[in-house]
A and B are shown apart, each in its own frame.
Chain A
Amino acid sequence: MLIKKRTGIEIPSSQITPEHLYLSRRHFMKGAAAIAAGALLAACRPDPPTTLPPTVAASDETGAAPATAAAISVATDELGRAVNSFESITNYNNYYEFTVDKQRVAELAADFQTSPWRVVVTGMVDKPGIYEIDDLRRKFDQEERIYRLRCVEAWSMVIPWQGFPLAQLLQAAQPQSAAKYVRFQTLYDPEQMPGQKSSRYEWPYTEGLRLDEAMHPLTILATGLYGRDLLPQNGAPVRLVVPWKYGFKSIKSIVQIELTDVMPTSLWMAAAPHEYGFYANVNPEVDHPRWSQASERLIGVGRQETLMFNGYADQVAALYAGMDLRRNF
C-alpha cells in the first residue's frame, strides 16, 4: 500500500530563494549557454527528446504507470526544487559493483537478480529475523519521500523515493541496550557484480550508522522510486536513504543489517580513511581533501550552494550537538 504524504518538513522562509534572484540566475545560465553554443546556432537546435528510455517503455508493457511527474504526488521537494527525470535518475549512477562509469551502470545491472531476495536482521537484537523482500513491502507501509541526494563528488539530484522508516524495521527487531551502531552489507556476488572482482576495494560494500541516526524518521529503506519498484542501478530491491549524508552512505542492494556495539568500518573508510569518515554528513564548510564541498551541480538545473546537512539541518543538527564536525567528517 502506498501512502502519499509529505515529509512533514516545514520550509523556513529564509531558505526559499527570492524569486527575482532565482529568475536572474536562470537568465544568467541561459546567457552562458547561449555564449557557449552561439546565440544564433542555439535557435536552430532541435527540441530535447521527450521519449522515455527503453527501460520505461519495457515496463510499461507490464501495465505499470509511466514514470512521469504524474506518478508522484508532488513534483518538487520542500525547497521548491523540481524532482529529476526518471531517465536521469536511472541512467546516472554510482554503483562500483557494476562499473565506475556512471552512465553504464544501468546497462550492466539490467539482468541483476533481485528476486528471491532476503534481508537478514541480526546482531544485538532480541528478535533477529530473515525478511523476504515482499515481506518488507507488505509489513511496512510504503511512503513517498522526496529527498535531495548529494553525492560526495559535488553533484546532486532530487529523487521521489518510496520506502519506509528504517526505525520500523529496527523496532520490530528490538535492539538490545548495548547496541550502538547499525552495520549494513550489500550482496556479494562477483558473478553478477563484475566490479566485485576488482581487488581495489574490500567487498562487500559495507556502511554504518549510529543507532540514533538509523532511528531518525528521515532515514528510510527505499524499495521504489517514481511510483515503481527500484531498478537494479538504483539499488534494487532495497536500499538505505539517509538524505543528510553524502550519497555513498546510502548503501544499495542490502542483504544484511546487523546491530553492534563497535563502529562499523565502511568500504570507503577502509579505502581512503583520510578522505571518507564514518559520519559523511553533507557539510559545505568541511571540504574533501581534493575538492571543495561549498557548492554542487544540481543535475538538470545548475550550480547551487551546498546546504548544511543537505538542507535537513533543522531535523538532524541536534544529533551532532557538541561534536567537532571537522574531525568527525
Chain B
Amino acid sequence: MNTLLPKLDRHAQARLLRIATHAGALLPLALLFYDFWYYRLGADPVREAILRTGKPALILLLLSLTITPLMSLAGWKQLQPLRRPLGLYAFLYVCVHLAIFVGVDYELNLRLILDGLVNNPYVVVGFTAFLLLIPLAVTSTKASMRRLGKNWKRLHKLVYAVGVLAIWHFLWLAKDNGEALIYAGILAFLFLLRFQPIRQPLMRWRRALQNRRRRPAASKRAAIQPEAEL
C-alpha cells in the first residue's frame, strides 16, 4: 500500500481511499440506473435489476470481510475506516434488491409474495440474511460501538452467517450457478484466515518479517537523526 501511494501523507491517503470506496460502491447502482433509463436491461429488466443489485451486495459484503485480515495480516491499518461504509453499502444494495423484488417483480401482490416467501427456499435464505443485516446496520455507529462494548464485536460476528446465507441464496436461485461457487470459495478462504490454527502462524510469520525489516531501518534512522536536527 505504501509503495502504491508513496507521495501522499496519511490524511490525503485516507481521504483518497474513502472517496474511491464511495465511488466504487455507488458505481453499480449508477450503471444500473443508466441502463434502466436507456432501456438497456434486456428482455427481462426485472431479473436483470435484481441480479445487478444482489451481486454488488454480495461483493461489498465480501470486501468488508477482507478488511480485517488485511489489517491484521498485511498490516494495512489505513483500511480500517472502510469497513463500515462497505458493510453499509452492502446493506443498501440488499434493500434496493428486496424493494425491486417486492415492489416491481411481485407488484406488491401480498398473496404471491407470501407464497414466494414460504415456497421459495432461496428467498427464505436470502430474507433471513436481510433480517440478520438489520441489527448490524443499526449498530454500525460509533455510539453503538461504545454502548455495546464487548458485545458489539460478538453481535457483528453475525456478518459471517450473513455471508454464508447470501451465497447459499445465490447458489440456489438458478438451475445451475457456477458463479456462486467462486464466491463460496472466496468466503471459505476468508474464513480460513480467521481460523486460529491458520491465523496464528501467519501472524508470527508476519511479525518475524517485520522485525527483520525494521531493525536495519531503525539503525539507519538513528544514524541520520543528528543531521536532521541541524
Within 8 A of A (CB), among B163-207: 172-176, 178
Residue pair B112, A295 in contact (C-beta under 8 Å)? yes
Stretch of A3-11, A85-93, A110-118, A219-227 contacting B (4+ beta carbons < 8 Å): A85-93
Contact B107 A302 (CB under 8 A): yes
- With a cutoff of 8 Å between Cβ atoms, the chain A residues found around residue B115 in the complex are 292, 294-295
A32 touches B44 (CB 8 A): no
Q: Identify B119's interface contact among A35, A91, A271, A294, CB under 8 A.
A: A294
* A148-197, CB < 8 A from B: 152-153, 155
Q: Which residues of B contact A96 (CB under 8 A)?
A: 176
- B118 proximity list for chain A (CB < 8 A): 292
Please state if B176 and A200 are interface contacts (CB–CB under 8 Å).
yes
Interface positions, chain B 101-117, Cβ under 8 Å from A, are: 103-109, 112, 115-116
**Counting CB contacts under 8 A, is A136 at the interface?**
no
Instruction: Give the chain B neighbours of A290 by CB distance below 8 A.
Output: 120-122, 172-173
Which stretch (B13-21, B35-43, B67-75, B146-154) binds chain A? B35-43
Give Cα A49 to B43, complex, Å. Answer: 13
Shortest Cβ distance from A47 into chain B, in angstroms? 9
In the complex, A49 Cα to B35 Cα: how many Å? 13
Total inter-chain residue pairs, C-beta < 8 Å:
83
Say if the beta carbon of A64 comes within 8 Å of chain B.
no
User: B46 an interface residue at 8 Å Cβ cutoff?
Assistant: yes
**With A289-B121, A292-B115: A155-B104 Cβ-Cβ less than 8 Å:** no
Determine which of A36, A84, A102 lies in contact with B103 in the assembled complex, contact meaning CB atoms within 8 Å: A36
Interface string of A263-288 (1 = CB under 8 A from B): 00000000100000000000000010
- Which of B43, B105, B109, B122 meets A92, CB within 8 Å? B43
Task: For the complex formed, measure the closest distance between the CB of A266 and the CB atoms of chain B, giving whole angstroms.
Answer: 13
A29:B107 contact, CB within 8 angstroms: yes
A138 contacts partner chain B, Cβ-Cβ < 8 Å: no
A135 to B103, CA, bound (A): 50
Contact A303 B122 (CB under 8 A): no
Cα–Cα distance between A28 and B105 once the two chains are bound (Å): 12
Assess the B104–A291 pair: CB atoms within 8 A: no
B120 near A92: Cβ-Cβ < 8 Å: no
**Interchain residue pairs A-B with the least CB separation, the first 3:** A92-B43, A292-B119, A88-B43
Interface of B: prevailing SS: helix
Interface size on B, residues (CB 8 A): 33
* Complex CA–CA separation, A290 to B37 (angstroms): 32
- Interchain CB contact under 8 A, B174 and A153: yes
Contacts of B116 in A (CB 8 A): 292, 295
A291 touches B120 (CB 8 A): yes
Instruction: Give chain A residues whose Cβ lies under 8 Å from the Cβ of B38.
Output: 46
Q: How far is the CB of A293 from chain B (nearest CB, A)?
A: 8
Are A294 and B112 in contact, CB atoms less than 8 angstroms apart? yes
Contact A91 B43 (CB under 8 A): yes
CB of A319 within 8 Å of the partner chain? no
A48-B39, A103-B42, A155-B44 in contact; A303/B109 too (CB < 8 A)? yes
Contact A287 B119 (CB under 8 A): yes
Interface flag for B100 (CB, 8 Å): yes
* Interface residues as binary, A291-322 with B (CB distance below 8 Å gives 1, 0 otherwise): 11011010110110100000000000000000
Residues in chain B near residue A262, CB distance under 8 A: none
Given A45-B37, A290-B122, A290-B172: A92 and B44 interface contact (C-beta under 8 Å) = yes
Beyond known contacts A25-B107, A92-B42, A292-B120: 15 more, CB 8 A cutoff: A32-B103, A32-B104, A33-B104, A46-B38, A92-B44, A100-B176, A153-B175, A271-B176, A292-B115, A294-B119, A297-B47, A299-B43, A299-B44, A303-B107, A303-B109
9 inter-chain pairs at a CB distance below 8 angstroms, sorted by A residue, are A36-B99, A45-B37, A87-B43, A200-B176, A271-B176, A291-B119, A291-B123, A292-B115, A297-B44
